[in-house]
């Protein structure tokens, strides 16, 4: 569906003319639209009337519009465009691409609103894997005030990076709090090239880094400026350690800490504070809180991975969330960096206590029930997938010849290989700790062994 078709749909719905501040439609595409009184309206007002959520809201020009009808039109546009050419999962990514090209240039606010729905429909498929396929039980420890605020305020979320699925656990908590579609993260740039999942993250405007501070600082500040205009509460997840926890990386962190006279970590890595400092200084005006999350898995359980989840293997995951007011953090860069380091020292102490006493947290254990919404989403997508596959084979007659059957088998094998590569690439490195600590300094060895 091209831009012309898109505008024809809107014109049929509203009619009239549209103009920007200078009286000219910026897109330079055909007829314009008008409000009910015939006067020109801005592009954001137009799109606000076409794409929205369930309740009426004030668009850019102050005209109150019926978003229930508007959302119906948006769904009609999606249905027109995806008439059997796309499979489950990929359909959302293509829908995001369509709205990114056609809506975002006109109104970032309205693009964010509809993209939230599309993002949730994709992420809920993964939530289903956690909740209902593998049956992973998430135990949340926090105070009642924090629980009530979760999902109702903007928050910077910092976590220890212990397992392969920490990001998925965060998504589950976001879904329980009602902000799954508005949760974004700071990730390495390679992720955005992953089929479907990475593409969807890119359209959801995740912040991707190259691990080159000269470039990353600009990317971070640009991403933070966009978040300031989000029309609903968001979570921004930041894994401050910069990489996943392994024994080899722990030993390297311990040696570094010993050489610098820092506390020796045993269960976390030393945080990299540049990104955190930039985040706090940029987000402070419009993000009231930091959620300090600590993940843990019982010693008797194997660490969860995507492979184990796909196999349906369950395990309990414990999460503690401490809410810190952003206004209480230091004002200086050095002070903010030290606050982050102190937070990870506290995480280390919490995890060490858990490993020796099996007491995880002094916070209250909160009851967070898994939702059935993800089941409904998966069932709908499976039905659609089955129908599309049936229609595809009916149309192509691939299974009516040996060549077609061979092509189908090879395609399925290719998809399987790609999925295997994706799953295994997401796993932490399986490194064993060396028998000799990586230093010849007897004093350092003694420090690292304590």
Query: How many residues belong to the chain?
Result: 450
Give the integer Cα–Cα distance in Å for 253 and 245.
10
CA–CA distance, 68 with 56 (Å, rounded to integer): 8
Extract the runs of DSSP E, i.e. beta strands, from 189-288.
207-209, 235-238
DSSP 131: I
Residue 18's pLDDT is what? 37
Give the Cα separation of 372 and 161 in Å (integer). 28
Q: Tens digits of per-residue pLDDT, 195-237?
A: 677 777 877 778 888 878 888 888 888 889 888 888 889 999 9
pLDDT score recorded for residue 228: 87
For helices 43-50 and 3-13, give the axis angle rounded to 10 degrees: 80
C-alpha to C-alpha distance for 7 and 66, rounded to whole angstroms: 19
Give CA–CA dist 239/220, Å, rounded. 14
Percentage of the chain exceeding pLDDT 90? 35
Query: Tell me, what's the pLDDT at 348?
Result: 96
Question: What pTM was computed for the model?
Answer: 0.70
pLDDT band of residue 291 (cuts 50, 70, 90) is: very high
Judging by DSSP bridges, how do beta strands 183-188 and 155-159 pair with one another?
Answer: unpaired
> What number is the average pLDDT over the span 30-59?
36
Separation CA 48–CA 44 (nearest Å): 6
Dihedral (C-alpha) 319, 288, 262, 170: value to the nearest 10 degrees?
A: 30
Cα–Cα distance for residue pair 395/397, rounded to 1 Å: 6
Sheet of 155-159: strand order equals 207-209, 183-188, 235-238, 155-159, 289-296, 316-325, 137-141, 365-366
Residue 121 has a pLDDT of 83
Helix (H) or strand (E) holding 327: none
Going by C-alpha positions, the residue among 210, 344, 337 that lies closest to residue 281 is 337
pLDDT the model gives residue 89: 52
Query: 419: pLDDT confidence band, cut at 50, 70 and 90?
Result: low
| Residues 94-120: tens digit of each pLDDT | 666 676 666 666 777 777 778 788 888
Intra-chain end-to-end CA distance of the chain, in Å:
64
Longest CA–CA separation in the chain, Å: 83
CA pair distance 154, 151, nearest whole angstrom: 8
Give the confidence band of 43 by pLDDT, cuts at 50, 70, 90. very low
């Amino acid at each position: 569906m091209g831009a012309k078709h898109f505008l024809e749909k809107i014109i049929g719905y509203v009619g009239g003319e549209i103009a920007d501040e200078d009286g000219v439609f910026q897109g330079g595409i055909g007829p314009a639209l008008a409000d009910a009184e015939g006067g020109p309206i801005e592009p954001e007002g137009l799109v606000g009337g076409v794409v929205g959520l369930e309740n009426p809201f004030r668009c850019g020009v102050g005209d109150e519009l019926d978003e229930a009808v508007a959302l119906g039109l948006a769904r009609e546009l999606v249905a027109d465009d995806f008439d059997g050419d796309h499979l489950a999962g990929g359909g959302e990514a293509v829908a995001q691409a369509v709205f990114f090209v056609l809506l975002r240039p006109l109104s970032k606010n309205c693009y964010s609103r509809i993209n939230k729905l599309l993002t949730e429909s994709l992420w809920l498929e993964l939530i289903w894997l956690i909740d209902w396929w593998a049956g992973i039980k998430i135990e949340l420890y926090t105070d009642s005030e924090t629980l009530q605020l979760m999902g109702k305020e903007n928050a910077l979320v910092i976590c220890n990076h212990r397992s392969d699925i920490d990001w998925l656990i965060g998504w589950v908590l976001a879904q329980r709090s009602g902000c799954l579609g508005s949760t974004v993260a700071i990730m390495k740039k390679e992720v955005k090239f992953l089929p479907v999942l990475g593409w969807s993250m890119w359209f959801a405007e995740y912040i991707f880094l190259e691990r080159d501070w000269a470039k990353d600082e600009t990317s971070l500040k640009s991403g933070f400026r966009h978040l300031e205009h989000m029309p609903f509460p968001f979570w921004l997840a930041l894994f401050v350690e910069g990489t996943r926890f392994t024994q080899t990386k722990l030993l390297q962190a311990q040696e570094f800490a010993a050489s610098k006279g820092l506390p020796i970590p045993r269960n976390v890595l030393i945080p990299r504070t540049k990104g955190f400092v930039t985040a706090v200084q940029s987000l402070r005006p419009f993000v009231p809180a930091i959620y300090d999350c600590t993940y843990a898995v019982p010693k008797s359980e194997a660490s969860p991975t995507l492979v184990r989840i796909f196999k349906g293997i369950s395990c309990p995951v414990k999460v503690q969330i401490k809410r810190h007011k952003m206004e209480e953090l230091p004002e200086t860069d050095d002070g903010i960096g030290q606050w982050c380091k102190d937070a990870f020292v506290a995480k280390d102490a919490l995890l060490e206590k858990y490993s020796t006493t099996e007491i995880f947290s002094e916070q209250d254990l909160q009851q967070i029930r898994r939702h059935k919404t993800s089941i409904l989403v998966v069932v709908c997508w499976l039905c659609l997938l089955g129908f599309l596959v049936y229609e595809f084979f009916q149309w192509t007659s691939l299974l009516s010849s040996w060549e077609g059957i061979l092509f189908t088998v090879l395609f399925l094998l290719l998809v399987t290989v790609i999925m295997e590569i994706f799953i295994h690439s997401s796993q932490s490195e399986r490194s064993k700790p060396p028998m000799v600590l990586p230093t010849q300094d007897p004093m350092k060895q003694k420090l690292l062994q304590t």
